Each structure stands twice: as C-alpha cells, then as structure tokens.
Amino acid sequence: MRLSTASYITVADVDEPGTRNARNCFRSCLIVDGALYLNPCPTGTQSHLAKAEWCEDAGDSALRSSGLGGPPPMDDQPSMLCAIGMEGIDVQRTTSSTGRRRRRPSISDLAPSRNKNIGSPQIIIDDVSRAKVAATDRVVVVGKRKEENTNWVIDELPDWQHAIYTVDDPDAPLRVTKNKGKESSVYLQYIIDHYDRLPSTIVFLHSHRDGYPDAWHTEFDEHSNPLTVQMLQTDFVQRNGYANLRCNPSPGCPDEIRPFRETANEDHMPELLFPMVWQTFFNNTRVPEVVATPCCAQFAVSRSQVRQRPLSSYQRYHRWLMEADLPDDVSGRIMEYMWHIIFGQDPVYCPDMEQCLGDVYDLAFPF
C-alpha cells in the first residue's frame, strides 16, 4: 500500500563499526507518494536504516540554531549518496579524487556535451538564418514548449545570443534530457552543455514575452521580458555575479522557505524537503532557518560566478532533478529558491526594491 502524500515517520540511529564517531541519525523522514526523503543530521555516517526512533543529537540542535549564515562553500561535494529501496537505505560514501574511499559514480550520461545520444548538441543560436546581427558576448536562455512562439527573443534582442530549448521535442536542435522541474532542467542543461565556453553574461528567462497573467511576475507595467533584458545593467551583473530580474519582493521575501516550520502540510512540501536537498547540494553544510528571494526564477548571472562552482556540482544538481520522484511544481519550487544561493548569494537575498531597481535597471524609484 502506498503511503499518502506528506506522511511523517520517525527514524533511526545506527552504530557503524570502525568509525570514531559511530552515532548518527536522521532528524526526520518525509514520505511523498511512497518515496522516502531524509532530513539528515550533519554529523557522522550511516550505512542502513536500523530501527525507528527520534534523533536526540547535538547535531540537530546545531542545525536548528545555525541562523541564516552565508552562502554555502563553492567547493561543495557530496559526502554521501543514499539509495532508497524496499530493503532500507544503502549509503555510498564519497570523497574527492585524492581520498581513499571510492569516488561518486559518474553521471556523464546526464552531460549531453559528453554523450552524443542524450540531451542537446553544442548549439548556441537557435535559428541562425533569423539572427539579425552578430551576437555579442552574452546570451538569453529560454525553455519553451513546441506550441509556444519565442520569436520575440530573436526579433527584439538581436544583440544577444539566443539558446532556446524545446522541452517536449526530442528532435529539437536544443533539448533537455527530461522535461522536469519547470525551467530548472533548461537552466542546468545550458550550464552543463556550455560550461567551458560560456559568454560573460547569461540571462535565464521564461518563454512568455509580456502581459498579464502569463508574465505577471515580470517587472514594469508591461510585464515585458524584452524590456527587462534591454534595460539590464550588465555591469552590475559582472560586479555582483548575480541579479534577480524581479525587484518587487513579493512573493518570496522576507521568509518564503522556512525549513523548520512547525506546521507540516502539502502546501509546504518544498520547504519540508528543503533540508534534504540542501545537504545533497551543499555537502551537509548547515541548513538555514530562512531562505528567501523575490520569485520566480528569472535572473542574470556572470560567467565568472557560474564557474565559482565546478561542472560536477551542476551535474549533481541536474542528477537530483532528473531522479527526484517529485511533482514538477515541487522540484521546480525547490530550485526556484536555490538559484541565488548556487550563485553565491546569502540564503536571504531580498534587496531593497529601490536599490534593486537602481542596480539592475538604472532606474530611480518612483518612476
């Protein structure tokens, strides 16, 4: 019998022979449509699920009292990889290439630039015959469905390179491994495909041109994506490394994701899973009490900021997204509040609206 969405179970602590710090635990487990997700304590090692009990460990207290902190380190590598099946949990421990234990299994099958049969080829211009002028050292990355018209990207942003991925067409020039996690699969696919030859500024956008309600979260009265790109201050992107294209703080700020919120229900599923994903992404660094930024995953980032993390990190994020047995809305929402942290910002990145409009668009408020 499959367990219902967002069921809680208590979890185990085990002793692993041969380790100095034998005690380990998981703070809580969440079962989503029959799949088990773990919120681990940040200390120790674990080989399998043993018996059910609550974890009473100092690591849990440290986790809860960690505060906001800063962004996680850029050399994040996973310390363990859990495979969850009917027989329990099998953990494959990993270290760097200089460590004594075996390395994390390769995920080259998820890196299309290294596998000609999967993902998208190394193409930057979506439709060369329609490009009006030679593109400069910057690119707009967009994901679309087959029926959506994204000609506005090429027509209205002629001095930008264009990488337009079709998420539901396996024969498209630019395509994704799987259409999962809303825009996240496109964004990660582009970075993996082009990591070694990125332009200096990368803008990640949705497929809608403008208007309400489709583009409700896009800035200005027109809700216009072309306008936001045309007004974007790329010098600020280069200085700061990252710029959220939405300055309006709502929704998203001041505290959209609270991983340790006491109320647990389906509406909060992304934040219930956030600690598990955080520790998968950032090598068990301390989970913040609050994560926040203006919605909705449209942003610009510099090449140098992308490369603050190794290609293997983006492959790991991509692997999680491809393998997570979660609804698109949930995995996409988790990624929506990960991007600013991936690109070097504090967990709470909520610039003052007036300051943001000045920095990102060179506007004085009110305008």
Q: At which of 58, 93, 128 does a domain end?
A: 93
Q: Which residue has the higher pLDDT, 135 or 203?
A: 203
Percent of the chain scoring above 90 in pLDDT: 50
- For residues 199 and 239, membership in a common domain is answered with yes
pLDDT given at position 75: 62
- For residue 263, tell me if it sits in a domain: no
The domain that holds 236 is classified in CATH as 3.90.550
Q: Which residue has the higher pLDDT, 166 or 221?
A: 166
- Cross-strand partners of 15: 23
pLDDT (average), residues 329-356: 96
- Model pTM? 0.67
pLDDT given at position 2: 34
pLDDT given at position 208: 84
pLDDT given at position 293: 97
For residue 159, with 0-12 CB atoms within 10 Å meaning exposed, 13-18 middle and 19 or more buried, which class applies? exposed
Structural domain that includes position 88: 7-93
- For residues 161 and 303, membership in a common domain is answered with yes
- For residues 218 and 334, membership in a common domain is answered with yes
Confidence of residue 367 (pLDDT cuts 50, 70, 90): low
DSSP 264-304: -SGGGHHHHHHHHHHHHHHTTPPPPS-BB--SSS-EEEEHH
- For residues 192 and 321, membership in a common domain is answered with yes
**Residue 215: is its pLDDT beyond 60?**
no
pLDDT given at position 224: 87
- For residue 109, tell me if it sits in a domain: no
- For residue 213, tell me if it sits in a domain: yes
Residue 13's nearest CA partner among 40, 37, 34 is: 40
- For residue 310, tell me if it sits in a domain: yes
- For residue 175, tell me if it sits in a domain: yes
**Residue 38: is its pLDDT beyond 80?**
no
> Which residues neighbour 162 within 8 Å (Cβ) at sequence distance 6 or greater?
124, 125, 126, 127, 131, 135, 139, 140, 142, 153, 154
**Residue 131: is its pLDDT beyond 80?**
no
- For residues 52 and 158, membership in a common domain is answered with no
- For residues 318 and 198, membership in a common domain is answered with yes
> Which residues neighbour 44 within 8 Å (Cβ) at sequence distance 6 or greater?
16, 19, 21, 22, 23, 24, 25, 59
- For residues 89 and 124, membership in a common domain is answered with no
- For residues 187 and 320, membership in a common domain is answered with yes
Q: pLDDT tens digit string along 81-95?
A: 333 333 333 333 333
pLDDT (average), residues 221-250: 92
pLDDT (average), residues 193-203: 97
Least confident of 30-44, 223-237, 349-363: 30-44
Residue 296's nearest CA partner among 342, 251, 361 is: 251
Residue ranges with strand state E in 48-167: 80-85, 88-93, 138-144, 161-166
Confidence of residue 213 (pLDDT cuts 50, 70, 90): low
**Residue 148: is its pLDDT beyond 80?**
yes
Judge contact between 234 and 138, C-beta under 8 A.
yes
Domain count, the chain: 2
- For residues 309 and 207, membership in a common domain is answered with yes
Alpha helices in 139-194 (DSSP H): 151-156, 184-194
- For residue 329, tell me if it sits in a domain: yes
pLDDT given at position 313: 98
Q: What phi and psi, each to the nearest 5 degrees, are found at residue 270? A: -55, -40
Judge contact between 29 and 38, C-beta under 8 A.
yes
Percent of the chain scoring above 70 in pLDDT: 59
- For residues 83 and 182, membership in a common domain is answered with no
- For residue 317, tell me if it sits in a domain: yes
- For residues 62 and 173, membership in a common domain is answered with no
Report the chain's C-alpha Rg in angstroms.
21
**Residue 268: is its pLDDT beyond 90?**
no
- For residues 121 and 45, membership in a common domain is answered with no
> Which residues neighbour 221 within 8 Å (Cβ) at sequence distance 6 or greater?
none
Q: What phi and psi, each to the nearest 5 degrees, are found at residue 189? A: -60, -45
- For residue 104, tell me if it sits in a domain: no
pLDDT given at position 266: 65
pLDDT given at position 159: 93
Residue ranges with strand state E in 134-196: 138-144, 161-166
Question: For all residues of the chain together, what is the average pLDDT?
Answer: 71
